Structures are given as C-alpha cells and as structure tokens.
Structure 1
Amino acid sequence: MALDLSVETTARKAAPPGRYLFGPVADFLMLGGSAFLILPALFFVPHEYEGSLAATMVVVAYLVNYPHFAHSYQIFYRNFGRKARGDGYDRSLQLRYIFAGVIVPAIMALFFAYGAATSNTRLLGFAANAMFFFVGWHYVKQGYGMLMVDAVLKRKFFDNRDKKVLLVNSYAVWILAWLQTNTAVTAGQYYGLQYYTFAAPSWIADIVLAAAVASTAATLLMLASRWRKNGGGLPYNGIVAYVASLYLWILIARINPLWLLVVPALHSLQYLAVVWRYQTNVERDVLDAARDPESKILSVLGPRYKLRVWGFIIGGAALGYLGFWLIPFILTALVPYDKQVLGSSLFFFIVLVFINVHHYFLDNVMWRRGNPEVSKYLFR
C-alpha cells in the first residue's frame, strides 16, 4: 500500500484531532509495534519449538497473509467496469486501472505460460528474484503510506520537503536490502525451482549503504525538526510503522530465520488495519447501514454494515484459500508438464509470484493521491 497523500487541505477537513483507525493500542500493534515485541522474543525460542512455530505461521498465513492479498482484489476489481471507463476517475487514474488490472496480469500470464511450456527454469527463476524486488518496494511504500495515514489522523502533517526525505530514505534502505542478496550471482531454491540473484559489485553496495545511512540521519533530523514545529508531537504510531517496515522487515529480515516466517504476517496485519477501516466506512455509506438485520440471530452482530464488513473479511479468507491453494492444486492435477524439470510445485510457485507482484501494481493504483475513493472513505 503506497498511500501518497499530499493534499493536506482536504485531509484537515476530513480528520478531527486525535483520530485512530481502531484505537491507540490496536493501531500501535497492527501498524508495526508488535514487531518490536516479537523480534526480541524469537531469540529466546528453544530450538525444539522452532518447528511448532513454523507450523503456526502456516496457519497464520491462512488467517492473515492470504486475506490481505485477497482484499486488494476485492477492492480493486469492485465496479471495475466503471473504473476502466473513467466514470468518476480522471484520465490518468483510468489508464492506471486498465494497466494494473488488465495489461499487467496478461503480460505475467504470457510470461509464465511461455516459461512453463518451454521448461525454461532459469527464466522462471528470475521471476522469483523479481518478486523479492517488488515485495521489498511494496513493504517500504506501505510503511511510508501508514505514516502518512497516521499523520492525517493525528493532524501532525509533513510538508513536501519532509515527504521527500522520507521517500528517499525508504528507497535507499530498500535498494540496500535488495543488493545485500545480490552481491554475487548465486542460486537458491523456491518451491522446487532455482531462483537466481544478479551480480552486484561490492562497491555499488557500499555506495548504497552510505546513502542509506545518510538518508536515515537526515530523516532523524527532519523528525526532530517536525517535533519542534508541532509543539512536541508526532504521529508516533505512523513512525513505528515506517521504522518497522524499512528496518525490521526489510533491512534486517535475515537476522533470525524465524523472523522471516513472522514478517509477512506482520506486514499483512498492517495492511488489514487500513483495509478493514476503509471497508467499514464504505459499508457505513450504504443507505440501510444502520438498520438491524432481519434475522434475529444475525442481529446480535450489530447493524447491517457490520454484517457486510464480516462478509467482506470472510470472503477475503475464502478467496485467499482459493487463489493460494485450491487453484494451484487443481492446475497441478489437471495440467500436464515436465515435473522432472520443473518440480511438483510449479503452479504453487507461479501463483505465489504472480499474486505478490500483481499485488504491488494493484496497491500502487488504489491507494494513490487523486483516487476519489481514498479521500472519501479512508479518513471518515
């Protein structure tokens, strides 16, 4: 989620002082604060319990990771015909919707079809590296976006110069983290397929390291200055989200093997905090939102808008299961391919890479400045 919110006039009108997505503690934990609590604890997990933790994270994937991907599809393709026609959207946003919603998935489908049909394992392997590239970019942009959201909610705004400092630091840390895995041409296994890194001379990594250190220092100075200008206040939950996304989830992700299992769930939880709030405001805008359900059994859950929000969440869980497990399982059973060369998990590999990369493109359109739905529903 890359929320680019630089139109502060509208935001000031939309958000009273001290607003939260769900509350001070819930926002802290969901936006990134839980990372600062969980990471230290992982170093004390006994070796014999590491397998149990890994199994637990598989269950968490069903409950958190997969729905977070599914929700982006639910929101992006809702009323997609209207978006593609530009009905209520400017020309630039209309083209972005068409590109991300039609052209990008078509190109990726052709890419994977060609790679699988020709049994080109090297080509498919590079797709995994591309996924890691876009995932890192997505993480840091989402961290920046969460900071902007909290800044609007708390009415602790950043000016354009501040935002440039934050973005430069985001990109510097992200590129450094990606280059750390590309300092030499090596290969690894991902769902039975070899993936390859790109040759990156160490001197380039050194330059990027210097840039990341310098931009981090500049960010700290900017935050100190902004704290003084705000009379001793900052959007602290947003800063926690920004720091966790850049440094804990990207830069030092390999500090502990168990941490690699936990990070995707924490990133997804951060995303869900905004999406669930956004969807709640969407449902509240429906005419009969405040009415109780006709069923007495369902009425205990509250008014109709809450029931629809639960339907959205459950639908996301079902769609996540369908996309990540049922569809690749069926394709593996029905579509013949050379399992000796491509392994037995080809379609699981393709689905994972496809959804992770496409998710970046979807979010880059949905949560950008100028999208009328964001300004209407996110800050109510």
Structure 2
Amino acid sequence: MTSSVHNATLPLEISRVAVPLRNAVAFLMLGGASLMLMAVFFFVRQPQILMRDDVRMMLQELSGGTLLFVVLLSYPHFVWSYRFAYQQGFAFIKRHSWQLIAYPLVVTGLLALCVLSWNYPVSNFPILRSIESAFQSVGISLNWSLYKGAGQLLFAGLLIAQVIMSGHHYCMQAFGVALAGGEEHGYKLTNSQKKILRVNLYALWAMNLLSGFAFLAILNNRTFAYHSFQLPAPLSLASYTFFAITFALVVFKVILPQKKVPPFQAAIPILAIWIWLQPFIQPYGYQFLVVPIAHGAQNLFFAYKVELNNFDPSRKLDKSAGGKLLFLVLLSVATMAIGYISFHTIPVMLDKARLIADLTPNFFFLAAFILISTHHYILDSVVWRHDSRARIVLQPTKTAV
C-alpha cells in the first residue's frame, strides 16, 4: 500500500521540480542571463573594483571561456536556421530562391571584389570623394578617404551592413519571442499595441545605428583599420527623444492597459533587447561578444521547441521521450561541430596559409562571419513565415514554457 502511494505521488514530485527548472532555463535563455552579465559588467567597471587582482583574474578567465559559449550557443543557432530553411523541400527553396540561393552568391561576389580591389586606391573613384564631400557639408563625416584601398572600404561597408542587419534581426526576434511567450501565458496584445511595440524596437534600432559602431575598431591591425563615421549630435539626440516617446507609449498604451504584470516569457526578451542595443552604457566587449551569444541562446530556445514538435515527420525516434532526447543531443553536437568548422577551423586555416599577403590577417575569418551571419538573418526572415514548417509545428503547442 505504501509503495503504491509512493508511486502515485512520484509524477507529482517530478512535476514540482521540472516546472521551476524549465522556467529557470527559459529565463536564462530568453535573455535573463545577459541581463545578469550586464549587472556584473556594470559592477566590475568601477575603478575600485576593476583594479583588484582577483577581479582582473576573473575577467581574464571569463574572456578565455568566451569561445566555449560561442560554440555552445552561438554557432549552433546559425546552423539550425540552415536546417530549417533547406530541409523543407525543393518547393520551399524555389519559392524563396532569392533568400536561399541568390543572396549568398551576391555576398560571396562582393567579398571576392574586396580581395581583387584590396589596395586599389580610393582616390581613383572621384564619385566616392564627391559623395563624402556632400555628406560632409551637412555635418556627416563618412571618412571613406581614410581607407588605404577600395577593397578595404567595401569590406568595412560589409561589416557595417552586418551590424545594421543584426540590430534589426535582434529586435524582430525579441518582438516575436515576446509575443509568442505572452500569448502562451494569456498575455495577448491588440494589433495597435503590437504596432506600438514594433515602432519602439525600430526606434531602439535607429538609436543604435546612429552610434557609429566605433566598437568595430577592435578589429584594427596593421593592414586594416575601421574608421567610424561621425554624425551630427542633434541627430543622435533626436533618436534618443524618439525612443523615449515610444518607450512612454509602450508603458502607457501597452503595459498599463493590461492591468497585470507580463509573464517573464514576454517581458525578459524586450527588456534584454533594450539593454543590448542602448548606446549609453556599453561595457567593453558586451555588444560585440555577449549580445550575439545571448541572441543565439534565445534563438536556440525556439529551435529546440520546433524539433520537439516534430519538425521532421520522417523521424522514427520521436515515439519515445528517450528517443527525442537522444536525437536532440546528437543534433546539438552536430550543429556545434559544423558551426565551429564553418566559422573557425576553415577560415583560420585559410588566414594562416596567407594565400594573399596583402589581406588583413583575419580576412577569411571575418568574411565567413559576414557571409554566414547575414545569410542567417535572411534565412530567419523566411523560416518563421506562415508557410514554413518550423512555424507551423509550433501552432498547436498550448503548453506553458
């Protein structure tokens, strides 16, 4: 009798442990971990803290472990977008041929053009100087003439394009994640409220764009230097004002009318993106290293949900919970390996070979980053459309995260 009672209560005990654990994982992956790291960064940046030997040693250890988190959380989410895009059949690929076929060919061609014109003088293109002078007359310094070659200028432009696209991608992913998390927990927004939130995120993106991306100077070396553009101060102030207005609208038109606290599944993604892209307090390395990893974790949270909802109906392992777990583990390891080889092993090997002596020593590493990351942004715009199986399999899901 005692044994039967114990067996009957066992599932309830497991549930009591599983739900908080699941919520903790969701909190961390949806952006909570990055918010905690920002608090740590903000604390240790104080001079009296930063100068301590134990703190500097801790920061050195953390920076040394960055690659581990990149392999675990960032690289896989890129690979998963390729899986979700290219494993939906020829009809899907043909329907979205621009995003899946044409785009990577165009970017590859531009990167090849960078190589061919790496040291070709910028001064040989009078139109570039004319454009630079025209912008200079209205207080915008493009600094194009500071580059040693047209290929280097184009390469810098591709880096800026990657950052611009990433900001939009981060904002729209946070928007989608927040809406999905809110709706799963009974926190639904009206169409007008969704528009207000979307405009707020576009205002955040614009505010980030006008920062000039000076942090890209971290890539500078003896053969390549990034020269950030300079914008008039009133333009930046206008973006701050616009964001403040949209922020107030979010508070008074979106949050307060709900008359209840939003679930963390809806609140954390928005709070996180506000912190990620705001230009006011950006500890060294946070936006360049921490934010992409946190974004990858957020993306993986939904990638796992798609897989658990049977993205590939031909799989036979989904009949058991153990089979699902085994498949997910093996798939995760495969995405980590493919991501590491694509982002790190092959590009670094090509850079070390010094096939073209005049190129910046990390050209192929950065080229792979530009190509794969921007293509991932384009792929995600397709993967989460209404005609994509990745989105369709999530529609019946009603269980709380």
Common topology (TM > 0.5): yes
Following the alignment from structure 2 to structure 1, what is the Cα–Cα distance between the partners of residues 312 and 162?
Answer: 36
Give how far 1:111 is off. Answer: 0.1
Equivalent position to 2:335, from 312, 316, 326:
316
Match of 2:268 among 240, 248, 257: 240
Q: 2:280 & 2:335 partners in 1: Cα distance?
A: 27
Partner of 1:209: 240
> C-alpha displacement at 1:233, in angstroms?
4.9
Question: Deviation string for 1:185-219 (max 9, x for gaps)?
Answer: 99835264323433422222222111100001101
Report if aligned partners of 1:66, 1:321 keep a CA contact under 8 Å in 2: yes
Checking the alignment, whether the CA contact within 8 Å between 2:175 and 2:270 is kept in structure 1 is: yes
Q: Which aligned pairs between 1:286-325 and structure 2 lie closer than 5 A? A: 286=314, 288-291=316-319, 302-325=321-344
Contact residue 306 and residue 390 of structure 2 kept, 8 A = no
Max radius of gyration: which structure?
Answer: 2
Match of 1:275 among 303, 308, 317: 303
Q: Which amino acid aligns with 1:266?
A: A
Indicate conservation of the 8 Å contact 1:151/1:235, yes or no: yes
Offset at 1:253? 7.8
- Write the mapping of 1:103-252 to structure 2, written as runs, cut at 5 A: 103-119=102-118, 120-181=151-212, 188-190=217-219, 192=221, 193-228=224-259, 232-245=260-273, 247-252=274-279
Q: Residues 123 and 186 from structure 1, CA distance in 2 versus in 1: closer, same or farther, beyond 3 angstroms?
A: farther
1:355 to 2:355 alignment? no
CA contact (8 A) 1:70 1:316 kept: yes
User: Relative to structure 2, which stretch is displaced further, 44-53 or 161-170?
Assistant: 44-53
Decide whether the 8 Å contact of 2:207 with 2:236 is kept in 1. Answer: yes
Q: Show structure 2 runs of 5+ residues with no match.
A: 1-18, 45-49, 119-150
Distance 2:177 2:280 in 1: 20
Q: CA deviation at 1:164?
A: 0.5
Give the structure 1 partner of residue 350 of structure 2.
331
1:7-26 matches, within 5 Å, as: 23-26=22-25
Runs of 4 or more above 6 Å deviation:
none
Paired position in structure 1 for 2:134: none
Cα distance in 2 for residues equivalent to 1:290 and 1:80: 21
Residue 258 (structure 1) shift = 4.8
Equivalent in the alignment of 2:99: 100
Q: Determine helix, strand or coil for the equivalent of 2:225.
A: strand
Q: Distance in 2 between matches of 1:80 and 1:152?
A: 30
Distance in 1 separating the partners of 2:379 and 2:97: 10
| Counterpart position of 1:259 | 286
Structure 2: distance between partners of 1:34 and 1:189: 24
| 2:375 alignment partner AA | H
Are the aligned partners of 1:188 and 1:196 in contact in 2 as well (CA < 8 Å)?
yes
The aligned residue for residue 121 of structure 2 is none
Structure 2 length as normaliser, TM-score? Answer: 0.76
Identity fraction in percent: 21
The verdict on how the C-alpha distance between 1:67 and 1:306 changes in structure 2, with shifts beyond 3 A counting, is same
Compare relative contact order (CA 8 Å, sep 6+) and give the higher one, 1 or 2.
Answer: 1
Contact between 2:311 and 2:389, CA under 8 Å: does it hold in 1?
no
Alpha-carbon distance between aligned partners in 2 of 1:117 and 1:80, rounded to the nearest angstrom:
36
Residue matched to 2:393: 376
User: What is aligned with 2:63?
Assistant: 54
Range with greater deviation from structure 2 (360-369 or 109-118):
360-369
User: Partner residue of 1:296?
Assistant: none
Indicate if the aligned counterparts of 1:191 and 1:345 stay in contact, CA closer than 8 A: no
Deviates more, 1:343-352 or 1:325-334: 325-334
8 Å contact kept, 1:284–1:290:
no
Q: Structure 2: how far apart are the matches of 1:64 and 1:235? A: 24
Mapped partners of 1:58, 1:373: distance in 2: 28
* Alignment root-mean-square deviation, CA: 2.6
C-alpha distance in 1, partners of 2:178/2:336? 27
How big is the shift at 1:285?
4.6
State the Cα distance separating 1:333 from its structure 2 match: 5.2
Using the TM superposition, give the Cα deviation of residue 48 of structure 1 relative to its aligned residue in structure 2, in angstroms: 3.3
Cα distance in 1 for partners of 2:177, 2:21 equals: 14
Contact 1:136 1:174 in 2 (8 A): yes
Partner residue of 2:90?
81
Cα deviation, residue 63, structure 1: 1.4
Q: 1:99 to 1:335 in 2, by over 3 A?
A: farther
Q: 1:80 Cα shift?
A: 4.3
* Larger displacement relative to structure 2 (307-316 or 232-241): 232-241
Q: Is the 2:182–2:265 Cα contact (8 Å) retained in structure 1? A: no
Kept in 2, the 8 Å contact 1:125–1:195? The answer is: yes
